[in-house]
Amino acid sequence: MEYNNVNLVVGAGFSGAVIANLIADKLGEEVLVIDKKDHIAGNCYDFRDENGIMIHKYGSHIFHTNNEKVWKYLKQFTDFNTYMHKVIGVLDGIETHIPFNFNTLYDVFPKSFAARLEQKLLDVFEINTKVPILEFQKQDDDDLKFLANYVYEKIFLHYTTKQWGGAPEEVDGAVTARVPVYLSKDNRYFQDKYQGIPLDGYTKVVEKMLDNKNIKIKTGVDFSEYRGKSFKRIFYTGSIDEFFDYKFGQLPYRSVNFKFEIYDKEYYQSNACVNYTCNYDFTRIHEYKYYLDDKSEKTVIAKEYSEFFEPGKNERYYPIPKEENNELYQKYLSEAEKLENVYFLGRLGDYKYYDMDKAILRALEVFEEIEK
């Protein structure tokens, strides 16, 4: 079969689906989308189980963005509910809000001490700002030092070690900045203008993106079956080191293992996501029926365990942001730049910790480059 006039998209997650949709719809060109998983939608894949609950197979996905272009593009394919994500953490046996904010302060400390800390925080920092925990530790005041050490140990230290498999000082600042102290009473995990869950789930969104006469989809297919064939363009959303047969070595990733459990009760916990920062080997428990307010006499939870990625054993989830890893990625990027009509994108292709909206924006921008 001749593929000279066909665009190959490797990976049917958001990055691949967006670029395939635009190439097929805006340029009217043929697109072949392949994915080694047995389904589309990548790690955003969800489905309704026998209990009528929408299950996120690869962990909770909450869409949030401030980007009008991304929001407008997605709205072609779905409507969203008005869900605004909140995260509960268990600190010293107390359920409270994460990120650590003024409400958390009053939950875990006596009122008089919390009030004193609140005033000192407002004397030093501006209201409604997020202060990275490592920056927060630099204060001279004894009370603020106590608070910094408390937050560091109870929220940051053990959780980060579980999640990233190393001490916090070994982890890049881009990760530590995601665990701030929030000087606010806003309990939402995200403050973006647009937030929510697609009403029919993420898989349906990707399905609609790929519903085009110019698009053919093959799942359960590895890129190796098409390597060496001549395509008009290749859009590769797999891991860039795998594309180049690991010629410079393997890029490190963290993976995640989910243990699903079903219970004969309406709810298992008080919130969609509860983080266990100091207790247990898992990092958090997801309870899926909260996201679309699914009604069922049963409930499904998933306990999330972080682990290192090992080829053939588990999935790549999070690029590990360290200087030496970025240097290795740059070697692969230099190789990629020598190729004509081959584009790398997505978390694995770009070796970046993208949220969904950033992955979609990147795909939109790649298409704009081609369209010029």
Residues in the chain: 372
Q: C-alpha distances in angstroms, 271 versus 47, 90, 126, 187?
A: 20, 12, 29, 12
pLDDT of 178 reads: 58
pLDDT of 179 reads: 67
Topology of domain 6-79+197-250+319-371, per CATH?
A: Rossmann fold (3.40.50)
pLDDT of 2 reads: 79
The SS3 call for residue 37 is coil
N- to C-terminal Cα distance for the chain?
Answer: 30
pLDDT of 177 reads: 61
Phi and psi based region of residue 18 (left: phi greater than 0; alpha: psi -120 to 50; beta: remaining): alpha
- From 213, 239, 242, 215, select the one nearest 19 (Cα to Cα): 215
State how far the Cα of 344 lies from the Cα of 365, in Å rounded to an integer: 12
Q: Are 289 and 305 in contact (CB under 8 A)?
A: no
Q: For the chain, give every domain's residue range.
A: 6-79+197-250+319-371, 87-182
pLDDT of 71 reads: 98
Q: Are 305 and 256 in contact (CB under 8 A)?
A: yes
Q: Are 195 and 85 in contact (CB under 8 A)?
A: yes
Q: What angle do CA 276, 187, 266 make, to 5 degrees?
A: 60
pLDDT tens per residue across span 248-304:
999 999 999 999 999 999 999 999 999 999 999 999 999 999 999 999 999 999 999
State how far the Cα of 124 lies from the Cα of 143, in Å rounded to an integer: 12
Both tokens of 200, joined, read 């029919």
Q: Long-range contacts: 149-157, Cβ < 8 Å, 24+?
A: 151/100, 151/181, 153/278, 154/91, 154/92, 154/277, 154/278, 155/89, 155/91, 155/98, 155/99, 155/100, 155/179, 155/277, 156/277
pLDDT of 138 reads: 83
- From 3, 34, 57, 48, select the one nearest 257 (Cα to Cα): 57
Residues of the chain with pLDDT under 50: none
Q: How far is CA 160 from the centre of its chain?
A: 16
pLDDT of 170 reads: 73
